[in-house]
Structure 1
Amino acid sequence: MAPVAMERVKLGSQGLEVSAVGLGCMGMTGNYGPAKEEAEMIKLIHHAVEMGVTFLDTADIYGPFTNEILVGKAIKGIRDKVQLATKCGFDIGADGMLSIRGDPAHVRACCEASLKRLGVECIDLYYQHRVDPKVPIEETMGEMKKLVEEGKIKYVGLSEAPADVIRRAHAVHPISAVQTEWSLWVRDVEVDVIPTCRELRIGFVPYSPLGRGFFAGAEVQSTGDIRQKFIPFFKPENLETNKKLLARVAKIAEEKNCTTNQLALAWVIRKGAPITVPIPGTTKVTNLKSNIGALTVKLSADEIQALEDAIPKEEVAGSRYGNVTREEQAAFLEEARQLARSTTI
């Protein structure tokens, strides 16, 4: 594949500019199977930056905590070349239980801890990972605004926030980006979240634009993989049905002379333009290069519609999240910690 000239996209109207495709780093330290070798993942991040993919996405909860440490090591010496995004909002209690916290004290403590793990003085884009229903969004955003004023973060983001909350938050401090899952088989955000972002000139950052690897042919791992535990799309009783839908996309990709992952990613890019920057994750350079190739895939309005017709919402089996108990969450986090200990991070 010939080198792709990486375009730049403005997220929001406050000045944040990033590569047209970002890199989701979560899977490098687990969640979709055991954590990968640190040295190899650092090389992968360096490859990404060399190819123009400078928008890196992490979070304190990934690992937990080890992902930020990894990314921090990878960007040492090239900090000025990357746009770094991380998140706050989850809390792991002494009992191992996971909860959502948006109170100002927690936001500040998380930011300070992330700065240390990442080894940076300022975070480019800082998201509230999940909205805390117990804390008014105005209070959370008030603290985010203070962090901007203090120079600890440059731009503010929200993750998985509904349209009304986005509006309220934006009134306190301009939101530069909203991050939510969006792909050919998860399209809820098209109803009001994306229209709200367009109206308010907020950037939109789809995570899992390849359906958590589904549209890239990824196989679910036997250990340490959240997909087999918590994502109903990947349950055996649903997977076979969904693979039939995937075959339809693969057929269209063959006709377009591109790969299935490129086609699925191109759909997100073209449909979400000009405010959208997807952040597909990968742990392989070959996949990274293939994802970048999606930028060269052109889609007409008819082709976009054909892709959507190939995966009708009512035919997708399962859902993106299932009912998970706090105990199951705690058990998975402990499993993640055990797997992470086998790496050099």
Structure 2
Amino acid sequence: MSVGVRKTIDETAETVKAHSTADPVAWLFPGLGSRFVGMGADIIGKSPAADKLITLAAQKLGYDIHEVCFSGSGRKFVPPRIEAQVIYVINCAYVDVLRSLGRQPQFVCGHSLGSWAAAYAAGAIDFESGLEMVTAVEDLLEQRIPDGEQAMGVIIGLDEETVTRICADEQYVYLANSNSPKQFVIAGRAVGVDAALEKAGEQAAKKTQRIAGSRAMHTPLLADVNRELQTALARITIDDPTIPQMNCDTASPMHTAVDVRRYLGQFLQRPVRWEATMHALGDLSITQFVEVGAAAVLTGMMPFIDPSAKIETVSDLLARDETANAIDPTTPVLTDR
């Protein structure tokens, strides 16, 4: 960690301590992998704040958000473009429900796709601009990346040094996500990713598996897509965040519109250093975390990163919030995941 980043974290931590009357909390926003049939069932049709946002999204997108969220079972397949849009919409809907109940975090942080909802929660972008950018990213990925050329894979049970060495042994294969101790995502050219996964298995990894999809997210292979995204970003307004958003590459807080714009314009080709970012939030005096999304993806990682951290899903928080007058507890909740 650079001296400048360390100083920023120390100064921000002192500010949090000085202005917090309750235990400081960070909202965490999941990305791909957090969609399932029944997502958002605890707020859709039960919170005016959520319904208002979802109605706006449906008008902009031209399809029924309810149909995507509730029709079918399990993790039914939907096109990547729709999956990304719906995850963003539901994440933001939870933000609006929490805001309607007077809740506010000290920091926000998004994992990959979750960065857009985090920017919305931070006050850096408006909802429609975020939806436009999520759609632009998916359109660029679909247009620029041939099917089958790129891939991603997960490796569990090896240390970061070993995974990094395995990636270095293959051409155009990179460490994309450092999620938690001994849980990593690699990405790159499909042939190289398959070879790296095989080598990881030979070195006694507990699990190696290809991830569905054909995009080498968070690697230099997306540099061209990233440049076009920067052009798209120039069309939208980005404000200074009212709540600091974490940069998951440098594991440091962002306080200005310039910082947020730079991050959003680069993160597709930069690694997600999730474990380091969670530790940085701990250094910033954060003692509680809420996963603001439909699933419990990030919640499941946290005990491996910091067993002492307090974390809950937004659904659990809303279920126990006695002030949640916007939620009608008598309405049945879908539970089919």
TM bucket (normalised to shorter chain) is under 0.3
TM-score by length of 2: 0.26
TM-score by length of 1: 0.26
